C-alpha cells in the first residue's frame, strides 16, 4: 500500500471541514443582533402593555399620533411585534436562516411602528428605532457567520 497523502508539518493550518466555513470575529455581531432582538422584543411587549393598560401615560393623545388609532390597537400591534421579535432572536442565537430573514423584516416593521408612535413616546421610540437599525445592519452584513 502506498502513501499518497503528503505529510503534514506543524506549519500547516489545521484540518477544517469543507461543509462548515470558518467563523470570523464578526460572529459576535450576529450574537449581538440576536440578543438585541430579545431585548427589543421585551421593549415592544412592555410598550404594548403600557399602551393597553395606561392610556394616560403617553405624551399625546391618540389623535396626535401619525396614524390616529386607539392606544389599545397600538398596544396589540406592539405585543405582536414583540412576540415575533422574541422568536426571531432565539432563532438567530440557534443559527437558523429563517430567523435572519424574519429578524430583518420584523426590525423594519418595528422601526416603522415606532416611527408612527414617536409623538406618543419620543425617547423610547427613538431608542428602539436606533436598536432596530443596528440589528438590521448586523443581520444583513454579517448574518452568515452563525451557522450550526
pLDDT tens string 52-89: 888 777 666 666 677 777 778 888 988 999 999 999 99
What is the rounded distance in angstroms from the CA atom of residue 41 to the CA atom of residue 101?
Answer: 16
Q: CB atoms < 10 A from the CB of 123, how many?
A: 9
pLDDT score for 87: 95
Whether pLDDT at 1 is above 60: no
pLDDT score for 122: 85
Calculate the CA 122 to chain-centre distance: 21
pLDDT score for 68: 73
> Where are the strands (E) in the chain, listed by range?
none
pLDDT score for 7: 64
Whole-prediction pTM value? 0.73
Mean pLDDT to the nearest integer, 117-122 = 81
Q: What is the pLDDT of residues 11-21, one digit of tens each?
A: 655 655 555 55
Domain spans in the chain, listed from the N-terminal domain onward: 27-145
Contact yes or no for 45/85 (Cβ under 8 A):
no
DSSP label at residue 8: P
Amino acid at each position: 500500500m502506498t502513501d499518497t497523502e503528503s505529510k503534514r508539518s506543524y506549519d500547516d493550518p489545521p484540518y477544517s471541514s469543507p461543509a462548515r466555513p470558518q467563523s470570523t470575529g464578526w460572529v459576535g455581531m450576529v450574537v449581538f443582533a440576536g440578543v438585541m432582538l430579545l431585548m427589543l422584543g421585551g421593549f415592544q411587549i412592555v410598550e404594548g402593555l403600557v399602551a393597553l393598560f395606561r392610556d394616560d401615560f403617553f405624551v399625546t393623545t391618540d389623535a396626535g399620533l401619525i396614524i390616529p388609532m386607539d392606544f389599545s390597537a397600538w398596544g396589540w400591534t406592539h405585543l405582536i411585534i414583540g412576540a415575533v421579535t422574541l422568536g426571531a432572536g432565539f432563532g438567530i442565537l440557534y443559527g437558523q436562516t429563517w430567523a435572519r430573514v424574519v429578524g430583518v423584516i420584523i426590525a423594519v416593521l418595528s422601526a416603522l411602528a415606532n416611527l408612527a408612535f414617536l409623538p406618543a413616546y419620543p425617547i423610547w421610540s427613538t431608542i428602539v428605532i436606533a436598536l432596530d437599525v443596528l440589528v438590521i445592519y448586523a443581520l444583513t452584513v454579517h448574518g452568515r457567520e452563525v451557522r450550526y
